[in-house]
Amino acid sequence: MQKPTTPFSDTTPLGSIDDITAALETVGYISTRPISTALYLAHHLRKPVLIEGPAGVGKTDLAISAAKALQFALLRLQCYEGLDDGKALYEWKYGKQLLYTQILKDKIGHLVADADTLDQAMGKLRGFQDLFFSREFLEARPLLQAMEQHGGSVLLIDEVDKSDEAFEALLLEVLADYQVTVPEIGTIAADVPPLVILTSNNTRELGDALKRRCLHLHIGFPDAALENRVVRARVPGISDALLGQLVAFVQALRHENIRKPPSIAEAVDWARTLILMHASVLDEAMVRDTLNVLLKRQSDIIAVQDRLPDLVRAARDAPARTH
Amino acid sequence: MDRALASFIRALRSAGAEVSTGEAIDAARTVAIIGYADRAALKASLGLVLAKSVAEKVIHDQVFDRFFSKPSASEATADDDETLRISDDAEVSNDASDDPQFGTLLSMIADANGGRGDAVDRLTAVIAQAAAATGVDDIRFASQIPYYVRQTMERMGIQPMEARLRDLLLAPSAKTAQEAYDLAAARDALQRHVRALVDQRFELFGRPATETFLADVAVNRQLGRMSSSDLERMTAAVKRMARRLAVKHARRRRVATRGKLDLRRTLRANAGHDGVPFDLVFKYKRRDKPRIVAICDVSASVSAQAHFLLLFLYALRGAVTDLATFAFSNSLHDIGAPLDTLPFDDAMAFVLTEYGSGSTDYGQAFADLAERHWDLIDRRTTVLILGDGRSNDNDPRLDLFRDMSDRAKRVVWLCPEPPARWGTGDSCMHLYRTFATHVSHCTSAAEIELAIDDALQAYA
């Protein structure tokens, strides 16, 4: 088995797994080994990555950060129910076609004026019929745009679980060969295959065919050490003491019996909130006031009310124990 | 593809992860890129390529650790990575099997017993080679382990050594006592090493296969005759079946009826084009979400079936969001709350003790349903009834049943009794069946799956 050739020189961060981790870190994304491995393999195997996991753990952010770190163009396709090929692949610019026909009417009239019969006029027009179905009248949508990026691109297909399965089938075709066929023009193939990242929140089970074609990456809630680094990267101004307590509190909160546990996004928001409030350590009153940043369901907030004193105390003791 | 990887993928498949051929090819390409040297990277990479759900990732990680670990007979000390070299080192053993003397084998065992890491690896590699030649990966049952141990040892050339040992033991003398002792010790040591490897192979290939086989048997066994170990197996199997059903029915909520133009929406969509209809909008049919009302007789005669029907329905909550469950032996009770809040087994135990005693009265149950929950039943509802239809000569309230049948989309009756006994004694099945959309004789989990599949199909 020979290594697939890559269009990139070895100077790009895609050369090794560690380089990817380092490159992501420069743009503020703290990567884990599976995440970096996924990007590395996605590039070398030319396969899309399907990322699943709870909301707010950095699925979409990974694609954005990867584009930034690799200096690729980012093309984003947000999926929703009813998304079709006209919105995802390409569309003819009907309006423009219509307008041009109107403007060119006289010219065309002039052109066919000397034809004696209808057949002759048709013959003359036939030579021009592709005029209105050329690249100029083609409105490229994200999937086609990604194929046309010559410098490489990151194609983010966000929340693919929200789309219909007809769209999933369409994706299969595009992602298998990295090309789009427009009947009137021909096949447009990507000369540099885009790095494709699909995200899913698992609102429905994705089709097996799509899953089997992708690398499957699951990003779960981070452990304390990782969360520490992520919050530190995103909120540089936070003090060590507060950071340790905050992470310990959030980690403990995830083990409480709540419907929607806070994810990293909420932890980062909370860190910003606490800084705004000039907190240097966690105290119960402040946690109580700002809990709605972490927990987005009223029932969850009520459920942990009684546990707050214990949780805050445990969080304040936690960093002391680790040092 | 190299042998280690192919064998690893087989182990994954027998452990229940579905690995397609395409994914196996991807795995081979991955190994070509990543290599065997970095164990953590290899694990992460194969996890990305081969496991396509969280459940599969757990399986993958377990099998990976078990597969790429050294079968430890004597708590060997070397690094785990060393095992990966099995396929490279294996050639060394080619001449071991036709070694007329057993000197090589003996010295190899002695070296390994000396505790040197590389000697242990060498022995392990030779054993793995010999074991693979006996087809140890086809092992299915624990009772086959001694057979494969013996086969492997014979292939490694244990027989001349045993012949020598036998000779020594038959003619004992002070001179040869030490040699006999050494030979016996070496033989035991080898057996330990081989046994460890065969055990590992059994864990990888045999046990999952046995489990699958037993689960298949249990799924088709009569629900009333379950042993407790069957029950446990069944619970897992039912969850798998339910997941299959959920995936099958969760898709396609909308069907376009191509050819029927939605004129109103077409005009609106093309207002921008001056009313020239460039974009056509077709009418589509929206599918109803499945709405199921399950009514279970939980008196002693059918409680086992009720247990599995409810287990099924609750495992199906992904696909059936609109689910109401009732239990009765005479008066009807909503059991949604206990099933939602308690672990399933506790909830069932609670339901059976609370509502399972008392003489059966179907008429009373239907009367309660009509009185309190009639609004649940409309033209989108499928009513699933589980029971034997034996109503202790009470009024079966056929009038209510017919009424319900008129209101509901479908009424499906699952009866654990064979049709020949319907209508005998106090059974009212022959009366009810007239008004039920479908009556099926349901004794095993496989049949319950079919019945539910059928009920959900009505929404397709």
Complex ipTM, two decimals? Answer: 0.81
B318 — pLDDT class (breaks 50, 70, 90): low
Per CATH, the number for B291-457 is 3.40.50.410
Which of B23, B272, B276 has its CB closest to that of A212?
Answer: B23
Same-domain pairing of A228 and A205: no
B3 — pLDDT class (breaks 50, 70, 90): confident
B99 — pLDDT class (breaks 50, 70, 90): very low
User: Does A212 contact B273 at a Cβ distance shorter than 8 Å?
Assistant: no
Same-domain pairing of A99 and A166: no
CATH code for the domain in which residue A25 is found: 3.40.50.300
pLDDT exceeds 60 at position B314: yes
On average, the pLDDT of chain B sits at 79
> What average pLDDT does this structure show over A113-120?
81
B127 — pLDDT class (breaks 50, 70, 90): confident
pTM for the full model?
A: 0.69
What local confidence, expressed as pLDDT, does residue A258 receive? 80
Same-domain pairing of A117 and A231: no
User: Does A45 contact B254 at a Cβ distance shorter than 8 Å?
Assistant: no
User: Does B20 contact A207 at a Cβ distance shorter than 8 Å?
Assistant: no
Find chain A residues with C-beta within 8 A of B278's C-beta.
Answer: 94
User: Does A41 contact B30 at a Cβ distance shorter than 8 Å?
Assistant: yes
Higher pLDDT, B83 or B145: B145
B15 — pLDDT class (breaks 50, 70, 90): confident
Find chain B residues with C-beta within 8 A of A215's C-beta.
Answer: 48-49
What local confidence, expressed as pLDDT, does residue B78 receive? 37
Find chain B residues with C-beta within 8 A of A47's C-beta.
Answer: 26
> What average pLDDT does this structure show over B385-413?
87
What local confidence, expressed as pLDDT, does residue B188 receive? 85
Nearest CA in chain B to A211: B52
User: Does A204 contact B251 at a Cβ distance shorter than 8 Å?
Assistant: yes
User: Does A37 contact B48 at a Cβ distance shorter than 8 Å?
Assistant: yes
Mind listing the pLDDT tens digit for each residue in B158-192? Answer: 878 888 888 888 877 777 778 788 888 888 888 88
B133 — pLDDT class (breaks 50, 70, 90): confident
Token pair for A191: 């000369």
Query: Of A154-168, A293-307, B124-138, B418-432, where does mean pLDDT reach its minimum?
Result: B124-138
How far apart are alpha carbons A77 and B437 in whole angstroms? Answer: 46
Same-domain pairing of A123 and A21: no
At B239, is the secondary structure helix, strand, or coil? Answer: helix
Mind listing the pLDDT tens digit for each residue in A247-275? Answer: 999 998 888 878 788 999 999 999 999 99
DSSP state of B233: H
Nearest CA in chain A to B19: A212
Angle at A88 between CA A83 and CA A90, to 5 degrees: 130
Mind listing the pLDDT tens digit for each residue in B60-72? Answer: 998 888 888 766 6
Rg (CA), chain A: 27
B417 — pLDDT class (breaks 50, 70, 90): confident
What local confidence, expressed as pLDDT, does residue A62 receive? 92
What local confidence, expressed as pLDDT, does residue A65 receive? 92
Higher pLDDT, A150 or B77: A150
Same-domain pairing of A49 and A169: yes
How far away is chain B from the Cα of A238, in angstroms, using its nearest Cα? 32
> What average pLDDT does this structure show over B323-352?
83
Same-domain pairing of A197 and A82: yes
Residue A259 lies in a domain: yes
- Beta carbons within 10 angstroms of residue B353's beta carbon: 10
Quote the number of domains for chain A. Answer: 3
What local confidence, expressed as pLDDT, does residue A38 receive? 92
- Residue B23 zone, left/alpha/beta (φ > 0; ψ -120 to 50; rest): alpha
pLDDT exceeds 80 at position B386: yes
pLDDT exceeds 90 at position B148: no
User: Does A98 contact B318 at a Cβ distance shorter than 8 Å?
Assistant: no
B348 — pLDDT class (breaks 50, 70, 90): confident
Token pair for A315: 């969080």
What local confidence, expressed as pLDDT, does residue B255 receive? 62
Nearest CA in chain B to A32: B44
How far away is chain A from the Cα of B23, in angstroms, using its nearest Cα? 7
Domain ranges of chain B: 3-216, 254-286, 291-457
Nearest CA in chain A to B21: A212
Token pair for B316: 């199906």
Residue A6 lies in a domain: no
Which of A34, A44, A216 has its CB closest to that of B52?
Answer: A216
Same-domain pairing of A46 and A145: yes
Amino acid at B383: V
Higher pLDDT, A128 or A281: A281
Residue A7 lies in a domain: no
> What average pLDDT does this structure show over A161-173?
84
Which among B33, B42, B52 is the top mutation candidate for probing chain A, defined by the most A β-carbons within 10 Å of its own β-carbon? B52
Same-domain pairing of A75 and A172: yes
Q: Tell me the C-alpha to C-alpha distance, in Å, between residue A230 and each of A148, A226, A227, A235, B242.
A: 34, 6, 5, 8, 39
Same-domain pairing of A162 and A124: no
What local confidence, expressed as pLDDT, does residue B81 receive? 39
What local confidence, expressed as pLDDT, does residue A98 receive? 82
Identify residues of B whose CB sits under 8 angstroms from chain A CBs: 20, 22-23, 26, 28-34, 40-41, 44-45, 47-49, 51-54, 57, 246-247, 250-252, 254, 272-273, 276, 278-279, 318
Find chain A residues with C-beta within 8 A of B54's C-beta.
Answer: 52, 218
Q: Tell me the C-alpha to C-alpha distance, in Å, between residue A95 and each of B252, B275, B277.
A: 33, 12, 12
Which of B41, B48, B57 has its CB closest to that of A215?
Answer: B48
pLDDT exceeds 60 at position B416: yes
A39 — pLDDT class (breaks 50, 70, 90): very high
Which of A2, A98, A212 has its CB closest to that of B52?
Answer: A212
pLDDT exceeds 50 at position A323: no
Same-domain pairing of A266 and A290: yes
> What average pLDDT does this structure show over A78-87?
85
pLDDT exceeds 80 at position A283: yes
Q: How many helices (H) and strands (E) does chain A have?
A: 15, 9
Domain hosting residue A292, numbered range? 224-315
User: Does A44 contact B41 at a Cβ distance shorter than 8 Å?
Assistant: no
